[in-house]
A and B are shown apart, each in its own frame.
Chain A
C-alpha cells in the first residue's frame, strides 16, 4: 500500500458521493475529519477506507464543528484536507467556515444538500443551502462554491475545489445535492500524470521575513506550515499582516476588503459555466446541480414547441457570474431560474438583470425534482 493506490485510474460506475471521495484522493487529500450525516455519509465511508491506503488519516470527529476545525488544523499542519456534510451539519460548520476564511486556510468542504429546514428530509434532495453558503457564517466574506451535476463532475470539481483552495488560499465549497450524491454513473478517473494539481504555495521567504497575511496585487498571501520555524501567530480576531490581533476599524477595513478582493478581483479566472443552446436564445434558463439536468429536459420540451430557449448552467455559483447575467440581460427577453428552493440564486439573477428583462422562478421545496413539464410551461410563459 502507498501512493500507488491514490489515483484509481480507469472507468468506474460510481455514486456521486464515492466519486467525490475519489476526487479528494486524486487531488492529494491526506486528511478527512468528518461526522456522518445522510446523504453525505458515503463520502466519509469511502474516505475511511481509502485514506489509510495512502498513509493519510480519516478521523470521525464528535460533531461538525470539530470536523471543520480539524481540517483547518490539518491544513496548517501541511496536509490537504477536506470534510463533507449535509443539512444540519452544514449549519454547524458555519462558525468555523468563517474561521477558515479569516485564517485564509486552503481546505475543501462538500455539502451534499438535502431538504430542510432542521432535520428536514435526510434522504431526499434539496438546493436550499445556496445562500447559506454565501452568507451563512457571520460577517462579510466571499466564498468559492461549485455545483456539480453528475458523478463525473463531482469527481472533477472536487479536484478543482482543491486547486482553487490552494490557488486562492481559502476554503472552497462543493455544493452538490442528494440527487447527484446518490446517483450512479460512469466516472472516468484519468491517469495520475494527466491530473492537473495545484501544489500549496509555500513561501520562499525566510523566518523573520515572512508575514502570514502579506500579499501583492493579486491579494493572495503565501502559505507556511507549523513546525517549519516561522513561529507564526494566526488568529480568528481581526488581524494585521503579521497575524496579530488588531481590533480597530482600520484593521477591519483592510482585512475584510482583502478577503473580498482576493475572490472578486480574480472572479473571471474562477468562474466556470456551461452554455447550452445559447446562440439564438431569447429565454435563458439559469440552473445548477441536479436541477440543471431536469431543466435540460424542460428546455427540450419547450424547444419542441418552437421557443428559442437556452441554458446558462452555473458550475461556479459563488462568486456569482454577475457580469454574464448583466451582459445577457441586454439582449434576451427573459430569465427562468430553476432550483430546488423558493428563490435563492433567482434573487442574484434578478439583482443583475436589474429590470432589463423579465425574471421567472420555478420554485420547488425539495424532496424530489421539478417536473420537466412545469419548467417547459414556465419557459413558454417567459417567451410570451
Chain B
C-alpha cells in the first residue's frame, strides 16, 4: 500500500459534481457497499456504457432482486425496481413484454440469479427473452454475512460452510450458454474497460444477454478465506485472469487458486420470445 501523501492540493468537490451524478440517485449516496467491494466499479462501467450507447435514460429500466447487488436498482437514477429474492428476471419479463420500448436490465448477484432465481435464469435464457442480465459474482451472500452460495468454489469457507464448501459451484457462462443465452461474457472488476465495452455491446442487442462480473467481496468472502483486502483480490485477478474470447465455457470453472477465464464466450443471434410472438403468432392470426 502506498504511504499517505504529505500534501493535499487535489481539488475536493461536492458529490453531485461527479460526471455520473445525473444517472445516480445522489440523495442515496454514499452507497452501502463496503470499502474494496467491486460492485461500484461494475456500476460505473454500466453507467459509462449506457452513456456511450446513447440510449435515452427514460427508456432503460433496471430490475434487481435483493442483496448487495440488488441495491443497484435503488442507486441508478432510472426507472428501477427492487423486487424479492431471486425474482428480478420474471418481474423484468413482464415489464419488458408490456413495454417493448424499454431496454430492461436485470442487475443482481450470484445467489439471487442462479440459486433462488436459477430456474428463472435458465428459462428466461431458454426463451431468449429480451433482457440484459448482469450477474455480479462474489462467490457469497455478502449482505447477510458470507453464507455459501451457488458459485462458492470447492473448499472455500463460508458462514454456512465452516469446514469448506463441498458442493460443486455453477459455472455461469456455461450455464447461460447451455440454457440458450445469445450473448455471454465474463470479466472481473479489474477489467473495467473491457467490461464497459461488453456492456455497451450488449445493451442495444436483442435476446438474453448475460454478463458475469467477478467481484471482490472483502468483508465476507475474502475475510473468511483469508484472501486480504479488496485491493488484494484485484491483484489476484490481475495475476490469475486469462482473456480468451470464444473460449469453451466448460473451461471456465472457477476454483480457489486456478485461473479465471474471461472474455466474450458467445455472441450470436436467434429469434427472441417477442420475435416469435410478433411473427409466428401474428402470421397465424392474420391468415385466418
The reply on A136 being an interface residue by CB < 8 A is: no
| Interchain pairs with CB closer than 8 A, number | 149
| CB-CB under 8 A for A99 and B277, given A76-B81, A232-B79 | no
CA distance A66 to B61 in the complex (A): 19
Contacts of A95 in B (CB 8 A): 84, 87
A62 pairs with B120, CB closer than 8 A: yes
The reply on B20 being an interface residue by CB < 8 A is: no
Contacts of A96 in B (CB 8 A): 83-84, 87
The reply on B54 being an interface residue by CB < 8 A is: no
The reply on A75 being an interface residue by CB < 8 A is: yes
Listed stretches B38-46, B187-195, B207-215, B278-286; interface member: B278-286
B82 pairs with A235, CB closer than 8 A: yes
The reply on A244 being an interface residue by CB < 8 A is: yes
| CB-CB under 8 A for A77 and B97, given A1-B288, A52-B281, A227-B58 | yes
CA distance A98 to B281 in the complex (A): 34
Listed stretches B10-18, B70-78, B224-232; interface member: B70-78
Contacts of A30 in B (CB 8 A): 98
> Which residue in B73, B102, B277 is a CB contact (below 8 Å) of A233?
B73
The reply on A275 being an interface residue by CB < 8 A is: no
The reply on B250 being an interface residue by CB < 8 A is: no
The reply on A131 being an interface residue by CB < 8 A is: no
- Chain A min CB distance to B58 (Å): 4
B94 pairs with A75, CB closer than 8 A: yes
B285 pairs with A231, CB closer than 8 A: no
Contacts of A81 in B (CB 8 A): 94, 98
Contacts of A57 in B (CB 8 A): 97-98, 277
> Which residue in A1, A33, A245 is a CB contact (below 8 Å) of B94?
A33
The reply on B95 being an interface residue by CB < 8 A is: yes
CA distance A70 to B79 in the complex (A): 17
- Of chain B, the residue at the smallest CB distance from A98 is B84
| CB-CB under 8 A for A227 and B101, given A73-B63, A99-B83, A236-B83 | yes
Contacts of A52 in B (CB 8 A): 277, 281-282, 285
- Of chain B, the residue at the smallest CB distance from A230 is B79
The reply on B66 being an interface residue by CB < 8 A is: yes
> Which residue in A31, A66, A73, A234 is a CB contact (below 8 Å) of B119?
A66
A227 pairs with B102, CB closer than 8 A: yes
- Of chain A, the residue at the smallest CB distance from B27 is A244
> Which residue in B57, B66, B91, B97 is a CB contact (below 8 Å) of A31?
B97
CA distance A1 to B282 in the complex (A): 9
CA distance A185 to B98 in the complex (A): 33
The reply on A63 being an interface residue by CB < 8 A is: yes
> Which residue in A76, A230, A234 is a CB contact (below 8 Å) of B82?
A234
| CB-CB under 8 A for A233 and B74, given A81-B94, A99-B83 | yes
A72 pairs with B99, CB closer than 8 A: no
- Chain B min CB distance to A208 (Å): 12
Kindly identify, within residues 204 to 242 of chain A, every residue whose CB is under 8 Å from any CB belonging to chain B: 225-237
- Of chain A, the residue at the smallest CB distance from B25 is A233
- Chain A min CB distance to B57 (Å): 7
A73 pairs with B282, CB closer than 8 A: no
The reply on A111 being an interface residue by CB < 8 A is: no
- Chain B min CB distance to A61 (Å): 6
A74 pairs with B97, CB closer than 8 A: yes
Contacts of B61 in A (CB 8 A): 226-227
- Chain A min CB distance to B224 (Å): 25
CA distance A227 to B98 in the complex (A): 11
A99 pairs with B84, CB closer than 8 A: yes
> Which residue in A66, A227, A232 is a CB contact (below 8 Å) of B123?
A66
Kindly identify, within residues 179 to 199 of chain B, every residue whose CB is under 8 Å from any CB belonging to chain A: none
- Of chain A, the residue at the smallest CB distance from B58 is A229
| CB-CB under 8 A for A77 and B99, given A226-B61, A231-B58 | yes
Complex interface bits, A58-71 against B, C-beta within 8 A gives 1, otherwise 0: 01011101110111
A69 pairs with B83, CB closer than 8 A: yes
The reply on B272 being an interface residue by CB < 8 A is: no
- Chain B min CB distance to A200 (Å): 12
> Which residue in B28, B90, B119, B288 is a CB contact (below 8 Å) of A33?
B90
The reply on B49 being an interface residue by CB < 8 A is: no
| CB-CB under 8 A for A74 and B98, given A227-B79, A230-B79 | yes
A226 pairs with B102, CB closer than 8 A: yes
Contacts of A78 in B (CB 8 A): 98-99
B93 pairs with A70, CB closer than 8 A: yes
> Which residue in A33, A231, A236 is a CB contact (below 8 Å) of B57?
A231
The reply on B59 being an interface residue by CB < 8 A is: yes
B93 pairs with A33, CB closer than 8 A: yes
CA distance A26 to B26 in the complex (A): 44
The reply on A53 being an interface residue by CB < 8 A is: yes
- Beyond the given A69-B83, A236-B83, could you list 13 further A-B residue pairs with CB under 8 A, ordered by the A residue number? A31-B98, A52-B285, A61-B93, A66-B87, A69-B90, A70-B90, A74-B95, A81-B98, A226-B102, A232-B79, A232-B80, A233-B73, A234-B81
**Shortest 10 CB-CB distances between A and B: which pairs?**
A73-B94, A77-B98, A74-B94, A235-B82, A66-B90, A73-B95, A77-B99, A70-B94, A69-B90, A62-B123
Task: Give 24 pairs: A residue, B residue, CB < 8 Å, sorted on A.
Answer: A1-B288, A57-B277, A61-B93, A63-B119, A65-B87, A65-B90, A65-B120, A66-B87, A66-B89, A66-B90, A66-B119, A71-B94, A73-B63, A73-B93, A73-B94, A74-B97, A77-B97, A77-B99, A78-B99, A228-B58, A232-B79, A233-B73, A235-B74, A236-B83
